[in-house]
Structure 1
Amino acid sequence: MEHWACAETTRRPTYRSLSAGRRAFYGLALGLLVLVPPDLSQADLWTDTRTLELVVAGTDHLINLDYDLAERTFARPDDVDQTGLLAPFYQAFVMLARLQEREPTRQEMDAFLAEMRTLTAKAEGRLTQAPEEPDLLLFLGMAWGSKAMIDGVLGNYFSTYEAIKRTKSYLDASLVRRPVRYDAYYALGLYNYALSRIAWFYRPFLHLALTPGDRERALRELTLASERGVAARMLAKLALLQIYAGSEKEFEKALPLAEELLHRFPGNPELYFQTALVYSELGRFPEALEVGRRIRANLDPGRYHFTHEMLPRYLQLMGKIAMDRGDYPTALNFFRQAVEQPTDRYAWVTAWAWTRTGMIHDLSGKRTEAERSYRMALAIKTNSIAKDVARQYLHEPYRKETVQRTFPSTRTEENTGSP
């Protein structure tokens, strides 16, 4: 469940193509869903405890992948919101989240964009009557940000940049008028982190249109939202987990987040894999293996949204843990099983299994076998950074003592290194 802010942007400033959208799509949907109950009328809905409870509950259901419960919960703000903006906004994201198990169609994403255009037009019409309303500005920031992400997936780059500019403008305006709306810092943190990850040679072009990103500021903003936010608190924690366990490689900071989120959302398989990887990276192998055991126990009966399609991902995870422990024969056995049952959805898992097999062969002095494994990884149809790693070690043998922990190993989308 990779956050869009964590997306690999070191080579190109683009978002996922439609063909790569399956895992990215859910990340985009959940990542941009800052489910705040904005004050869209004079009644100040923020003080209405019913609205707040519904929003927090709906967000929890969505993160836990309980889509039916989320859909029913998000239908209820209509009871207290007379604008008709809240319920359709939330429900549109439930629809997107349901599509995570398959490749979304162009028509489905176009339908989402049409819904966002309708909602932004309606909200901007109300803004002419209440231009200083901070929660209306916040809502518009969220809606435009959501549109930007899907436009990016579809390759509508001009629309993407325009929507991102509007997102930043509305969010900044909201905080100027109400600095204590800490949920807004979640979205601003994502903005700053995503743009800070753009490759340096693209930045001059992007900065002609967009405010530059700031990595340190992004982490401060996300931390503030995770500690003092209300509706976006769990989403901010999720973003920080994926950042610290991914591009930042600060596993000590990732661990308490992983443990808290897994305890709160046991229905989300991604959190099991994230937590196991964090434990393994920290050398806490008994805990990593225990989480692996829980994954295996959930796979067979299909509990907690686990599916048999995740089996190769589990095998690759267990191989990674064994590799971190230095148990190379066991690691090779798990990697072999993973590559013997590939799936289109988890093609990046197959790429990592081949790449890490090559790394072990390099450490064992079996250069010919290592080169073969790297070439097998490069032949996989995926955008995974595993292929970047394989390409590097195809030219220069892997040496653990000099390169250990160089590459992210717990990112969960197609082009990442998560197990």
Structure 2
Amino acid sequence: MTGALAFLLLAQAALWPDMDPMVQKGYDHFYNLEYLEAIASFQKAVEAAPADPDRRNHLAQAVLFSLMFRAGALETEMVTGGNPFLRRPKMEPAPAEEKLFDDSLAECIRLSKALLEKNPNDTKALYAQGVALGLRGTYNYLVKKAWLDSLKDMTAGRKLHNRVYELDPSNVDSLMMQGMHDYVVGSLPFTYKVLGFLAGFHGDREKGIRTVRIVAEKGKYNRVDAEILLGIVARRERRPGDALKICEKLRSQFPRNFLILFELSQMYADLGDKDNAWKALDRVEELKKSDAPGFHSLPLERIEFARGNLLFWYDDPEAAIVHLRKATERAQLLDPNSGVTAWLRLGQCLDLRGRRAEAKAAYRSAMEYWPGSEEAKSARKYLDKVFTINEKRAMTG
């Protein structure tokens, strides 16, 4: 997962035995995609220790991931090649969500500044403030599309964590933001790197990967997140075998997280192992139909979309159409990313089978489903131009 997803985000803790039980409970929900429950748990944790700035960050982070999950953004498909996040429409938080996020970070920053006034070298306060700035920068990047504000916040947060590491070299977790920042900015197109120069930072992909690997090997609270990021990097850079190993490990740790099984299917597909890719989807469907914990809210249409998309990539458009039809029958149950892609894939498969009138109807549905998305723009193009097998092959080349 990118909650995997999110190669930008600052997930602050895995389920470690020395963590406060209320925070542990929140992160158990968090890593298993139960974001409403995670938010409720972190709110109780804040109430129990209102002067702890870290708990405000936990709460803000859960709100942010909840938004991403709802938008269908917590999958590595969203961060492989081409920086698709840069082109996606804004996420639309509810006013109450935005207020909870903003208020949590504002209070974290206020509390950490008060501690730093007493002791400028308070590493806990420096770390918490850096996380808050990183989360705010991530929100500006993904939700508000405010690139320069985002880079400024993330650069300021990175500097605070650099200071933590200077004061306490044993705090390997403080390297996580540096590694992510290096990798993310180093991966941006040139136009966006110019903004990085304006913010005083250039980025370095390889250095970022090396730093994150150190956190994965020696970190404490950020070790899981470092492993997740390394998995995302492996898939982004077309090393699915490495990503698969990490995904299998995460599956055993977070059994209620259905996105991990979808990720496993994609990893096997990238390796050319269609049978195991299909079996991973069979397992998702088995768990869904048995009402296994964590799978109740997963719509069957999401599984049908995954099957259709897999068959599309394996050059079986006729079989893919069957599954994509089922996925789009109730496309309103899908997240925006899956829904619009399902309509686009259906149109492309119909075109490949010479069913032009039906294909055009599917493209129109994609455009209506999420008008501002890249998929809708592609659908508009194919209204006037038949999607061909050569174009599909170019997509994988």
TM range (shorter): 0.7 to 0.9
Question: Match for residue 273 of structure 1?
Answer: 262
Question: Match for residue 193 of structure 2?
Answer: 203
Does the CA-based 8 Å contact 1:3-1:242 persist in structure 2? no
Greater fraction helix? 2
**Which of 264, 283, 287 is matched with 2:253 structurally?**
264
Once the two structures are superposed, residues 256-303 of structure 1 have per-residue CA deviations (whole angstroms, 9 ceiling, x without a partner) of: 011111121111121111111111221223322222112112333543
Partners of 1:300 and 1:210 in 2: CA distance: 52
Once the two structures are superposed, residues 48-72 of structure 1 have per-residue CA deviations (whole angstroms, 9 ceiling, x without a partner) of: 9734888667534420235657865
Q: Which amino acid in the other structure matches residue 207 of structure 1?
A: F
Does the CA-based 8 Å contact 2:165-2:174 persist in structure 1? yes
Partners of 2:4 and 2:377 in 1: CA distance: 20
Compute the displacement of 1:212 (Å): 1.6
**Which of 139, 143, 148 is matched with 2:137 structurally?**
148
Partners of 2:25 and 2:149 in 1: CA distance: 32
Matched, 1:320 2:309: yes
Give the secondary-structure state (helix, strand or coil) at the position aligned to 2:276. helix
Once the two structures are superposed, residues 285-322 of structure 1 have per-residue CA deviations (whole angstroms, 9 ceiling, x without a partner) of: 33222221121123335433234663222111112333
Matched, 1:34 2:2: no
Partners of 2:218 and 2:301 in 1: CA distance: 39
Partners of 2:392 and 2:63 in 1: CA distance: 47
**Which of 386, 394, 397 is matched with 1:403 structurally?**
394
TM-score by length of 2: 0.77
Partners of 1:150 and 1:401 in 2: CA distance: 34
**RMSD (CA atoms):** 3.8
Compute the displacement of 1:344 (Å): 6.3
User: Closer, same or farther in 2 for the Cα pair 1:98/1:381, shift >3 Å?
Assistant: closer
Once the two structures are superposed, residues 172-206 of structure 1 have per-residue CA deviations (whole angstroms, 9 ceiling, x without a partner) of: 22223333422223222222232233332232234
Question: Which ranges of structure 1 fall in alignment gaps of 5 or more residues?
Answer: 8-27, 38-47, 407-419
User: Closer, same or farther in 2 for the Cα pair 1:372/1:218, shift >3 Å?
Assistant: farther
Question: Which ranges of structure 2 fall in alignment gaps of 5 or more residues?
Answer: 72-91
Q: Which amino acid in the other structure matches residue 212 of structure 2?
A: L
Once the two structures are superposed, residues 335-388 of structure 1 have per-residue CA deviations (whole angstroms, 9 ceiling, x without a partner) of: 222222212652322332343345445655677766665555444316555446
Matched, 1:335 2:303: no
Give the secondary-structure state (helix, strand or coil) at the position aligned to 1:131. coil
Q: Which amino acid in the other structure matches residue 198 of structure 1?
A: L
Give the secondary-structure state (helix, strand or coil) at the position aligned to 2:225. helix
Does the CA-based 8 Å contact 2:14-2:223 persist in structure 1? no
User: Closer, same or farther in 2 for the Cα pair 1:390/1:270, shift >3 Å?
Assistant: same
TM-score by length of 1: 0.73
Does the CA-based 8 Å contact 1:281-1:324 persist in structure 2? no
Give the secondary-structure state (helix, strand or coil) at the position aligned to 2:191. coil
Using the TM superposition, name which of 196-205 and 300-309 deviates more: 300-309
Seq. identity, %: 22
Matched, 1:236 2:226: yes
Give the secondary-structure state (helix, strand or coil) at the position aligned to 1:128. helix
Does the CA-based 8 Å contact 1:226-1:234 persist in structure 2? yes
Query: Number of residues paired by the alignment?
Result: 372
Matched, 1:122 2:111: yes
Partners of 2:4 and 2:14 in 1: CA distance: 19
